[in-house]
Structure 1
Amino acid sequence: MLINYQTGTFFDEMIQSNGQPKNHYQWFYQLVEEFSEQELKEKHETAQLNFLRQGITFTVYNHTGGTERTMPFDFVPIIIPEEQWNKVEKGIKQRMEALNLFLEDIYHDQEIVEAGIIPRDLIENNPYYYHKQVGGVKIPLNNHIFLAGVDLIRDEHGDYRVLEDNLRNPSGMSYVFQNRYVMRQVYPELFYQHSIESLEHQLSELHNAVTSHVPLNADPDKKPTAVLLTPGMYNSAYYDHVFLAQQMGIELVEGRDLIVKDDVVYMKTIRGLKRVDIIYRRIDDDFLDPEAFRPDSALGVVGLLSAYKKGNVSILNGIGNGVADDKAMYVYVPEMIRFYLDEEPILPNVETYFLSDPEKLDYVLDHLDELVVKNVGASGGYDMLIGPQSTEEERVEFRRKIIEKPSQYIAQPTIKLSRAPAYQDGRFYPCHVDLRVFVMNGRYTNVLPGGLSRVALKEGSLVVNSSQGGGGKDTWILTEGGQSNA
């Protein structure tokens, strides 16, 4: 398995610097060594076919249109010992609590702005800030973040750092369950005699988190009705929407299936109209209600915002969450933790430069070949420059864009992303990985054990996003044996 495998100067999830597996991977390594080359190839092909048969796809958009693809899957899991995971879980919960308090604060009293911690213009000029629409609105449980997807990386020392907070419509949760299902089908040997944290009850936890957001004016004598609102089958994450709705046992609806009458939302059914209390929406804010946001939206529901403001329906995640997961606001999350919780952050950020600062701007323009530059409003690996892997032509283009609108970009040092072995094309080789951790918030906070490990399957690439050629791995929280020497 490890012939010609080089860890280099990167932190490796599985392999020590002496070329031997870490303690908590030892048993996995020994099992894999028992497979013949032919068995590995057959298992790998069976795993990919499993995804294809189940229709587990996403859409990649480019200048020629959309292309439907299956998520490339790699069978070498990311294994995290329990004591390491406990720290991650604690740090994620701390971060979510502070971010939710921040959202509640800026749509009400704005104490953090009055205290001079966060610049007012960073909020008021934010394209995802909807104070006019939802300022002062009372929401169930005072909870703006029902589901978050927090992206973590490990640096060259093996320390976890937060790369991004996704608080609007985080996708990919369905792949966590499907990765585990495929692993159990194709590699059952790996699950014998080891306690790996189960995902069995996590979809029930998600359902409980959804249904705990009962709107203020719901009928107290009736069980609340929840739906998942999708933009439709042409959305890149449509499989995610279908899977989650089916597994939670709630209706999957499009905007045309809903209607608002007297500020109450109803779903059209063959038996007539049925009241809807909770909407888990996978539609961006701008498209939710053509009356309140974009008038050209064909995806939303006319009058939805009015029903929301009157406490007749809950919308998850909250409207206007984007102001908190903006790449510029990310810089201030450690300060939010100190301000709202009076605690030091457990999980640090990646160092980040604001390009609206003239001094930082000059530094970044002089060091474009060393840094990662990101558009604060983009996601999925789009409009991003990875300096060390860029061409002179790309740097010239980014220089032009930055000078034209410096406030639209941030820059970060090129982190030496941790690596792990991947098995593709009949061989093992090191690939960069990150981890999206899913957090469900209802009456309490629940962190899904493990999450979605994303892997840059193209050798040397730092971009793990599936839209940019990345794949997925199963993530195991090991609850017994194998002390970490990571």
Structure 2
Amino acid sequence: MYNEVYTKSKIRVSYKDVMNWAKSLPKNTLVKKKNEAEDLFRKIGITFSVYNNYDASERLLPFDLFPRVITNKEWGKISKGVIQRALAINAFLHDIYHSGEIMKTNIIPRHLVYGNPAYEIKMVGFKVPNNIYSPIIGTDIIRTNENNFLILEDNCRTPSGVSYMIENREIMMRMFPELFQTLKIEPVENYPHHLLDTLRKLRPKNCSDDPNIVILTPGSLNSAYYEHSFLANMMGIELVQGSDLYVDKNITYMKTTRGKEKVDIIYRRIDDHYIDPITFDNNSLIGVPGLFDSYKSGNVNICSAPGSGIADDKAIYTFLPEIIKFYLSEDPILENVKTYKCYDPKDRGYVLSNLKKLVVKEVHGSGGHGMLIGNDASKQKIELFKRKIKSNPGNFIAQPILSLSSVPIFSKNILSPRHVDLRPYCLISNKKITLVSGALTRVALKENSLVVNSSQGGGVKDTWILAE
């Protein structure tokens, strides 16, 4: 396990001030600050929801006060790799909904695209504004040694967590202002401004004025509702539900106390099949009837575009290095984690013989659900996954169990290492690409656990990118 704080048992230069601060904190001060932080989270309403067969509760997001530090040089490599990936993903999405050149060259098997449930046939031939299908991409990154950052997965549909990135910083600045006076830390509070600027540049064909932008949320029961309301408030735009919008003669309107208002851009935080009950799932109660026709008529833009989720499918993920080379004529700056495709007979044979050494994931899964961590699984669970893979091999990929890098947490008033990952957020409009110098660090709060998802017992940290 690579410990990000130490190099050959010596504290890295980037962490010296933070470690000195952490060790100097009196025990009672740390307890007091933890309680203050929890009170602030509670007052502000920073929560997430858990939905399963046993629980449907809203919880405070576990927040650890020890920050993660990334040097300017390290961030330079990360940001270049994330931007490269975002460009390639949007080029790929444009291609598969038009001429499909990458399939013609047999780089990606046709069935992985055209047979994918996330591929939206209704988008074929449609020109989205500026050819940007996925303007907001959250990229999950892990670190395995001092110089090696690997891409774990891409989130192209409705990546969440950016509000926690901003609020984590706000809490730390309130709790420990002296740290921000002595260290040069890049700001993150400008993200909503950059997001609004990105969305404004994605005006639909039939919008000549300053666009009217809204955030479409499924409602207050959604696990990311806090983030929806936070971003709407920070950007100064309306937060709406499907019932607040309607379509008349292919134009989308918002109901207001002043009468109807034309809507030009919808930053949607609901899944594709719920967007429009006429075009997609007719059982949807949270969509807007006729919205897709309004979209295809060029009267409103939906961000991200319907069908963009195919780019974060784990089967497509395995081809991202080839996708980058095909569209950008560049080698990947950040490599993928080694991945075995279970539909491939050779890979499948290896996976079935080595499940104890592997993490197995459903290609359409997310949130840490529906996966197997081999070295932590019972014999019964391993046998279950063997049967699943044999019966539907195309539904699974497998990766080696990697030891994610660690950063300390305050555990019972002592510093104890825990595994972390990193999610930066890339904004892409037309010629402008923005990557705020910050990210969401998710941390596995359970000792030796590799699962960082909040719904699975993980928490978050403030992430500090050091200025030059």
TM-score range, shorter chain: over 0.9
Structure 1 residues 297, 210: CA separation in 2 closer, same or farther (over 3 Å shift)?
A: same
1:110 maps to which of 100, 105, 126? 100
**CA RMSD in angstroms, aligned pairs only:** 1.1
Alignment counterpart, residue 438 of structure 2, candidates 447, 450, 467: 450
- Cα contact 1:158–1:418 (8 A) shared by 2: no
**Shift of the alpha carbon at 1:130?**
0.3
Q: Which of 306, 313, 328 is equivalent to 2:293? A: 306
| Aligned residues of 1:130 and 1:320 also touching (Cα < 8 A) | yes
Partners of 1:11 and 1:158 within 8 A in 2: no
What corresponds to 1:45 in structure 2?
35
Distance 1:61 1:158, change over 3 A: farther
% identical equivalent positions = 46
Cα distance in 1 for partners of 2:182, 2:449 equals: 35
Contact 1:82 1:479 in 2 (8 A): yes
Give how far 1:158 is off: 4.3
Does the aligned pair in 2 maintain the 1:164–1:327 contact within 8 Å? yes
1:212 aligns to what?
201
Please say which of residues 90-99 and 195-204 is displaced more in the overlay. 195-204
Find the partner of 1:36 among 1, 6, 26.
Answer: 26
Aligned match for 1:328, one of 287, 302, 315:
315
Tell me, yes or no, if the aligned pair for 1:417 and 1:462 is still in contact at 8 Å: yes
State the alpha-carbon separation in 1 of the partners of residues 460 and 123 from structure 2.
37
**Residue 76 of structure 1 aligns with which residue?**
66
CA distance in 1, matches of 2:296, 2:151: 33
SS in 2 for 1:322: helix
1:194-219 per-position Cα deviation (integer Å, ceiling 9, x unaligned)? 2100123221111101111111011x
Task: Map 1:2-17; keep pairs closer than 5 Å.
Answer: 10-17=1-8
SS in 1 for 2:57: strand
Q: Which runs of 5+ in 1 are unaligned?
A: 1-9, 481-486
Change (3 A) 1:303 1:146: same
Task: Give the Cα–Cα distance (whole angstroms) in 2 for the partners of residues 388 and 272 of structure 1.
Answer: 60
1:4 aligned residue = none
Q: How many residues align?
A: 467
- Alpha-carbon distance in 1 for matches of 2:408, 2:62: 15
What are the equivalent positions in structure 2 for 1:358-397 lying under 5 Å apart?
358-397=345-384
CA contact (8 A) 2:166 2:189 kept: no
1:461 aligns with 2:452: no
Looking at structure 2, the residues matched to 402 and 257 of structure 1 have their Cα atoms a distance apart, in angstroms, of 44
Q: Judge conservation of contact 2:200–2:210 (CA < 8 Å) in 1.
A: no
* Cα drift, residue 430 of structure 1: 0.7
Distance 1:101 1:327 in 2: 18
Matches within 5 A, 1:282-293: 282-293=269-280
Give the superposition deviation at 1:323: 1.2
User: What are the superposed Cα offsets for residues 403-437 of structure 1, whole Å, 9 maximum, x if unpaired?
Assistant: 22111110000111101101133222110000011
Question: 1:223 deviation in Å?
Answer: 2.1
What's the counterpart of residue 140 of structure 1?
129
2:4 and 2:146 in contact (8 A); partners too: no
Q: Distance in 2 between the 1:126 and 1:26 partners?
A: 49
| Pairing of 1:84-123 with structure 2 (within 5 A) | 84-123=74-113
| Deviation per residue, 1:35-69 (Å, 9 max, x gap) | 11111121122112211111100111121241111
The equivalences for 1:45-444 within 5 A come to 45-131=35-121, 133-156=122-145, 158-218=147-207, 220=208, 222-443=209-430, 444=432
Aligned-partner Cα distance in 2 for 1:73–1:458: 13
SS in 2 for 1:458: coil
Describe the SS at the equivalent of 2:59.
strand
AA aligned to 2:4 is: E
| Code of the aligned partner of 1:176 | M
Q: Which residue of 1 aligns with 2:464?
A: 476
Query: For residues 65 and 179 of structure 2, what CA distance do their matches in structure 1 show?
Result: 10
Deviation at 1:172, TM superposition (A): 0.5
Q: Give the counterpart letter for 1:48 in structure 2.
A: E
Q: For the residues of structure 2 that align with 1:135 and 1:434, how far apart are their CA atoms?
A: 35
Which secondary structure state, in structure 2, belongs to the residue aligned with residue 62 of structure 1? coil
Matches of 1:471 and 1:202, distance apart in 2:
21
Partner Cα distance (2:419, 2:338) in 1? 19
- AA in 2 matched with 1:154: R
Deviation at 1:88, TM superposition (A): 0.8
SS in 2 for 1:369: helix
Distance 1:202 1:360 in 2: 41
Q: Is the 8 A contact 1:60 1:68 kept in 2?
A: yes
Q: Indicate if the aligned counterparts of 1:74 and 1:424 stay in contact, CA closer than 8 A.
A: no
* Offset, 1:157: 5.0
> 1:351 is matched by which residue type in structure 2?
K
- C-alpha distance after superposition, 1:88-135 (max 9, x if no partner): 11111111111100000111111111111111111011010002x111
CA–CA distance in 1 between the matches of 2:380 and 2:147?
34
Q: What is the CA distance between 1:379 and its match in structure 2?
A: 0.4
Deviations 1:422-470 (A, max 9, x none): 1133222110000011111123110121210000001110000001010
* Conservation of the 8 A alpha-carbon contact between 2:190 and 2:436: no
Shift of 1:305: 0.7
Moved segments of 4+, more than 6 Å: none
For residues 453 and 348 of structure 1, the distance between their equivalents in structure 2, rounded to whole angstroms, comes to 19
Q: Note the alpha carbon deviations across 1:282-336, whole angstroms, 9 max, x for none.
A: 0100110111111111111111111111111000011101111100000111101
